[in-house]
Chain A
Amino acid sequence: MNARAQALLWAAQRASAAVLALCVVVHLATMVYAIRGGLSAAEILSRTRGNAGWLAFYSVFVLAVAVHAPIGLRPVLGEWLRWTGASRDLALAALAILLAVLGMRAVLGVFL
């Protein structure tokens, strides 16, 4: 991977961090609000199913995680385990896809 692409990864990680900062706050506030009123799982599902707003919000959240976490792991693997090169980047791309798939599966699970 060339230095330009590495700089782009850095930019993507900072941008996804900004998105996550907002998403985490909204997510935590929602969780606290939902639990405070004593909502049951069925009541929560009745609010999320078919709700395009929540679908969009949690889709953005999941995709931001899928971008952010593998880029953050990249220097950890390089600096601590001396794992660099194409194999590291391929493994992290696979991790990004895995996070996106598992996350979207969960999001769709409460939407559909």
Chain B
Amino acid sequence: MNTLKVRVWRGGAQGAFQSFDVPRHASQTVLDVVTHIQRALDPTLAYRYACRVGMCGSCAMTVNGVARWTCRTHVDKVAGEGHLEISPLKNLPIVRDLVTDMREFFDKWARAKGSFAGRRTRRDDFAQISSASKSRKEIDAAIECIGCAVCYASCDVVAWNPDYLGPAALNRAWTLIQDQRDREKVERLRAVEGDAGCHSCHTHLSCTERCPKQLSPTASIAGLKRETLRSLFGGSP
């Protein structure tokens, strides 16, 4: 049986890689590898996962230097020479081993006003929004974010500027600004402009390249830049 040589980060910010030999199987995912280590080799290994099918966004890790969702990443795709190096996501504090503290990531969603604020009550009729409308198409292109933080871990600007809201939070704000039912567009635009917001994006496109859902936060951020520019000169969002 083939064996994978796996190096796994152990400890917190001050830690070290520990090596494991893991049996290789057909269609094996990186999450399968981590789970094997925890269940068969070292039960003290800390990692995080939930759905195992690419929906919950909780299993993202750095695999051979690249942030990935591990449950949908096949070993065949990333372990070129039979070697894997697995570490926690970058740009987030490490709790222990492969687990990061996601608080700052989600706090930034709140700072970017990432919660829907509608006008209607339960007594009103449903809003009628055409699936062919431009704003609905903009939302469709960005809405499938699972909050895995792969984009956040891949973003150079987040690494350089700790206040930067990051691709996921800005992408979320963009979907709400495009939502015809939303009543806080102006406040949202105010929340996402400036050095901590969309204007700090350098369009490196790392978020777009790495997003496991093939979304383009870069395009959403460009949309925010256009909307803030419009609002600077008196246009309504």
Contact = CB atoms under 8 A, between A and B. Distances in A.
A42 B152 CA distance: 58
B232 interface: yes
Given A3-B190, A10-B225, A78 B232 contact: no
Interface string B212-237: 00000000000001001100100000
A2 B199 CA distance: 13
Nearest to B160: A79
Contacts of B190: 3-4
A3 B195 contact: yes
Interface string B199-213: 110100000000000
Interface in A1-40: 2-11, 14
Main secondary structure on chain A at its contact with chain B? helix
Given A3-B194, A3-B195, A3-B197, A8 B160 contact: no
B193 interface: yes
B142 interface: no
Interface residues of B, number: 16
Contact of A7 (B160, B161, B194, B202): B194
B157 A10 contact: no
A7 B200 CA distance: 10
B59 interface: no
Contacts of A9: 199
Contacts of B161: 75, 78-79
Contacts of B228: 7
Given A75-B200, A78-B161, A79-B160, A6 B229 contact: no
A4 B199 CA distance: 11
Interface residues of A, number: 15
A82 to B, nearest CB: 9
Contact of A10 (B160, B196, B199): B199
Contacts of A7: 193-194, 199, 228-229, 232
A75 B157 CA distance: 10
Nearest to A84: B195
A5 B197 CA distance: 13
Interface in B154-170: 157, 160-161
Interface of B: 157, 160-161, 190, 193-197, 199-200, 202, 225, 228-229, 232
Given A78-B161, A79-B157, 20 more contacts: A2-B194, A3-B190, A3-B193, A3-B194, A3-B195, A3-B197, A4-B190, A4-B194, A5-B194, A6-B199, A7-B193, A7-B194, A7-B199, A10-B199, A11-B229, A14-B229, A75-B161, A78-B195, A79-B160, A80-B160
